[in-house]
A and B are shown apart, each in its own frame.
Chain A
Amino acid sequence: MRYLPKSPAEREQMLKAIGAKSIEDLFAIIPAAYRLNRDLDIPRQLGESEIVDYFKAAGQKNATDYASFLGAGAYRHYRPVVIDALVQRGEFLTSYTPYQAEITQGTLQAIFEFQTMIAELTGMDVANASMYDGSTGAAEAVLMAMRVTGRHRAVVARTVHPEYREVLATYLQHRDLATSEIGYEAETGRVDVQALEEAVTDETAAVLVQSPNFFGVVEDIPAIAEIAHKKGALLIVSIAEAVSLGVVRPPVEADIVSMEAQSFGVALSYGGPFCGVIAAKENFVRQLPGRLVGETKDQDGNRGFVLTLSTREQHIRREKATSNICTNQALVALMATIFLTVYGKEGMRELAEHNLAKAAYAAQELSSVAGAKLLFRGAPRFHEFVLQTQESPALWSQRLLDEKIVGGVELSRWYPELKNATLWCATEVMRRETIDAAAKVLAAGLVEA
């Protein structure tokens, strides 16, 4: 076996040193009744070339030559090649959680840089070292707000990613925490502010909204914050499309921001691994879940970094910890850090503006097809938009597939009231000719219908 660095003679030599007759002696403590005395029924050992062939075939079966308008919480952006060149360095890739600070300063400093960049982008004071993803981050943020306020109710916008809301429900099901959902305004797709005002009470721990929301619409964060804060509730803003922060005003009025940073140079990988992160105002730092890196000095006065405030965490506090999270998404956070360094201050704005332009063009072209209309026109959007068609999406999406284009996601699976409505996304990698081709395909069917 090519990963095992021992010759048969060395194994014998070691057994002898231990005083064992055979390797089975070392497993003697396992009762014979349930020892496995056969080979596992799994595929035989493959050579490296066979492994590569197997996965390449699977990749091809997946189809690679389709253009796609899919977004909805997972976004395709260009990934600068230096990201993979750097994260594949064994010193990053094959290192453990940096508990031994003296020999993990590389990881620690990179995480400190990540925390700083996320704080800068979101307008928060501090950020943690990462969470599993945007969905679990949002759920943990709500639990955090509950600890901070000592209150037991949460108000959640229906425009938060439906799968995030499902995860939240799973996380809360055995906690003493009730949630209520509030709808959106038909004209704008924004949170129904009046309903929010009625729903938030003196018992509300948190208001959870997403911006840009699931429809791609940017919420009026200052107005929502005012409603939450008036009753002493915390405002949590979930951000599923991190690139939006290049051009969209950061939610500075929020108390906690839970962000999915997948857009920062992380491959789609069929939904994971992604990179959640929680950022917050300074005074809530001791209720943050997950790891934090802090700056300090060594005995000789050199600057150095350590994992800190670990009395919040499970390995110290056990059942009283702020979360049970241990392993996070460190390497993915490093990808994000490199991505943000590549684009930098000017590049993030330029990149975000390209996204804005592509989506504006796509929205205009697709909605100008007869029988199609753009929903939620009355509010600013980033790079996603909702299109409603007279024709059933099942029909035109098949015609698009025939042209090797994957159209928008159908919304009725989460929003039954939005019939024939689909959510489209156009990032900077979307080509004009794809948009034009999609418009043509849509038009073809609608004329016939």
Chain B
Amino acid sequence: MANIAKPVYDSANRASPALAELREIKNYRYLLGQLIRRDILTRYKRSFLGVAWTMLNPLGTMLILSIVFSNLFNAVQPYPVYILSGLIVWNFFSQSTNAAISGLVWGGGMLTRIYIPPTIFGVSAIGTALVNLLLSIVPLILVMLVTGAVIPWTIVFLPVSILIVTGFALGFGLIISSLAVFFPDVSEMYQIVLTAWMYLTPIIYPETIIPENWLAFYRLNPMYWMVKMFRLPIFDGRIPTWAELWPALVWSVLTLVIGWLFFTSKTDEYAYRV
């Protein structure tokens, strides 16, 4: 009476959790789309302007920062374009990692009831943030036109920059959300870390004000490279050189691989812990 057919599910047979999880994400790609759709539709569902807020938000922040700091940093012109090009990448990173945390905490309730691949919450958080990133390029171009800046041809490099920062944000989001499940304090602590991190990254101030002997320290910051790689083709109108690009690329690949391996090594524990 032994069943010799291959079982659909066998708890003892699993070569590598990291690979198995990749396969599950492929099987659950429809859920991935549904989660992204849900997050985009519901965020502004009751507001009158709806998705337009995705574009108005960075625009408002940019406006305030421009008014406050434009005299201080009048060396960078046009300052609004400078801020906005950095702010968009930063928002993408902070939104997606925060959404990865809240997604896994929400999904935790589901994970104890039905089977869902747990990485789907981190991946869908990135998907949602990517849509928002693309939408916020619209106000960036508007601001460029209004301030009279030329739109350089080098913006065709942006997809490469977006791809690299996506890898970094996904890997980082997986690590931080996994930690937040095991230590609830992490998500609170992370908000403070994010604020400090933002001011340590040249987003609202020009790189030229960084003291010479601090520059080595700044270069250890992965977001320094991410912002630079995104801003160069927009603001400076040139493609990043290899020396400017490889640190971002290395950070991205390493963080993604480590994040995926770390998160999936704990997949069995989430249903026990969240």
Q: Do A and B truly interact?
A: no
Residues of B within 8 A of A (CB): none
